[in-house]
Amino acid sequence: ISILYLGFYTGAINTINPTGDLDIIEGLLYIFTLGFLCDEIAKFWKVGKYYFGFWNSFNNTLYALLTVSFVTRMIALGHHVGDSNRHKFNELSYNFLAFSAPMFWCRLLLYFDTFRFFGTMLVVLKVMMKESLIFFALLFFVSIGFLQAFVGLDQEDQKLDATNFIIQSMINAVMGSPEFSGFDNFAPPFGLILYYIFTFIVIVLLLNILVALYNSAYEDITEHSIDEYMALFAQKTCQFVRAPDENVFIAPFNLIELVFLVLPFEWWMDKDSYERLNDYVMAVIYSPLLLVTAALETRVAYRVRFNRSRGETDEDTIEEWEQMDGECDFEGDGWVKKCEETKPNVESDGTLVQIKELRKEIEELKEMLRSLKG
C-alpha cells in the first residue's frame, strides 16, 4: 500500500496540470491520504495519547501538508479558468505537494524496521531526536539573548530596519556558514564583536555538544543492537495485535468500511449479520492478495515436501556441493569408506556403544586367561 501510495505521488508530481484540474492519479493520491488520515484519527480516538509517537507525528505532518495542498487546489478550482487567482492557488498547491517529497521517501523507513540494520538505525534516530532537545534548548536561550542585543544595536538610530538581516545572519551562523561582511557597518565595533562571539558559541561549543550527544546515543544503541532491535520488533508486533472479532480494513479500504458499511448498516443491522457482511466485503477486497499469498505458500510447500522426502529440515536448501553429487566418484576415491569409519553412530546411544565395546574387550580378556591356563 505504501509503495502504491508513493507511486501515486510520483505520478502526480511529475504530471502537473496547468489548468488546475484534478486527474485520476491525483484523485487516488488524495483518497489514499484521506484513508490514512481517518485511520490515524480512529486509532488516536481509541488508544488515546499513548498512541502518539515519533512516526505518528511524522506521518501526521505529511498528511497535513497534503491536506493543505488539496484545500488550495479546491480554492483554485473555485475560480474561472484564466483567472490569476486560479493560477496562484494552483501553483501554491503544487508547491506544498513538492515540499512533501522527502517525507514520502523517509516514510518508507518505517516499514523497513523488520530488518535488523534499519530497525537499529531507526532506534538510533529516535534517540538522537530526543538528545537534540538539549541542544535546541541551549540554542534557544543563546539566540534570544544575542537577538535582543542585535535589535538593541539596530534601534540606536531610532530605525528598526535590519531585523531580517539579523535573523538571516544568525540562521546562517547556526547552519555553519556565517557572513561577517554585513556587520562591518552595523554599530561598529559592537555588532561585529557580538557576531564573532555568537558564531564561536554556536559553531565551536553548541555544535560540538550536539555531535557528542549524537555520538553517545549511537554508541549506546549499537552496543546493544540486538536487544534494541528485538524490543522494537516486539513493540511493533504488539501494536498489530487486534481483537479476534474486529473487522480489519487497512487504509484506504477503511473508507469503504466507513461509507458503505458503518454508516448505512451498522446502526440497525444485528451483530451476526453485520459480521457476515463484513466478512464478504473483506473476502472481495483481500482476495487478490490472498491468491498471491496462496501461490507463494504453495511453492514453499513443494520445497518443504521435497526436503522432508530427503530427511532434511523444512527450510533446508540444496548446497552447491550437493549439486555435484553425480559428478564426483566418492566410492572410487575411497572417501565413502573413510566417512563410514569416522562418522558417529547417531542411531544408538553412545553409552550403549561403549558398553558393547567393553563387553567385547572383557571377552577377549577371558579368552587370553583361558589360553594361559591351558
Tens of pLDDT along the chain (374 residues) come to: 888 888 888 888 888 887 778 888 888 999 999 999 988 888 888 777 777 777 788 888 999 999 999 999 999 888 887 788 888 888 898 999 999 988 888 888 777 777 777 777 777 777 788 778 888 888 899 889 988 888 887 777 667 677 788 888 888 888 887 877 777 777 777 888 888 888 898 888 888 888 888 888 788 777 777 777 777 777 777 766 655 446 778 888 888 888 888 888 888 888 888 888 888 888 888 888 889 988 888 888 887 787 777 676 666 555 555 555 555 555 555 666 676 766 666 666 667 777 888 888 888 888 888 888 76
* SS3 assignment for 147-191: HHHHHHHHHHHCCCCCHHHHHHHHHHHHCCCCCCHHHCCCCCCHH
Whether 77 and 20 have beta carbons less than 8 Å apart is answered as yes
Rounded to whole angstroms, the Cα distance separating 273 from 327 reads: 64
Identify whether the C-beta of residue 12 lies closer than 8 Å to the C-beta of residue 26.
yes
Q: What per-residue confidence (pLDDT) applies to 195?
A: 85
In angstroms, rounded to a whole number, what is the distance separating the alpha carbons of residues 299 and 44?
A: 40
CB of 76 within 8 A of CB of 89?
Answer: yes
Give the pLDDT confidence score for residue 309 in this predicted structure. Answer: 75
Compute the CA torsion angle 224, 229, 232, 237 (nearest 10 deg): -140
pLDDT number for residue 263: 85
C-alpha of 51 from chain center: 17
Q: What confidence score (pLDDT) does residue 330 get?
A: 53
What pLDDT was estimated at residue 244?
Answer: 46
Specify burial of residue 266 (Cβ count, 10 A radius: 0-12, 13-18, 19+): middle
Is 136 in contact with 142 (CB distance < 8 Å)?
no
Give the C-alpha separation, 141 to 62, whole Å: 29
Contact at 8 Å (CB) between 254 and 39? yes
What's the confidence (pLDDT) of residue 71? 92
Quote the cell numbers at residue 265: 448498516
What are the φ and ψ backbone dihedral angles of 86, each rounded to 5 degrees? Answer: -65, -45
> For position 264, what pLDDT does the model report?
87
Residue type, 324: M
Rounded-to-integer distance, Cα 32 and Cα 251, Å: 7
pTM: 0.66
Q: 24-47 and 54-77 are packed helices; what angle lies between their axes, rounded to 10 degrees?
A: 140
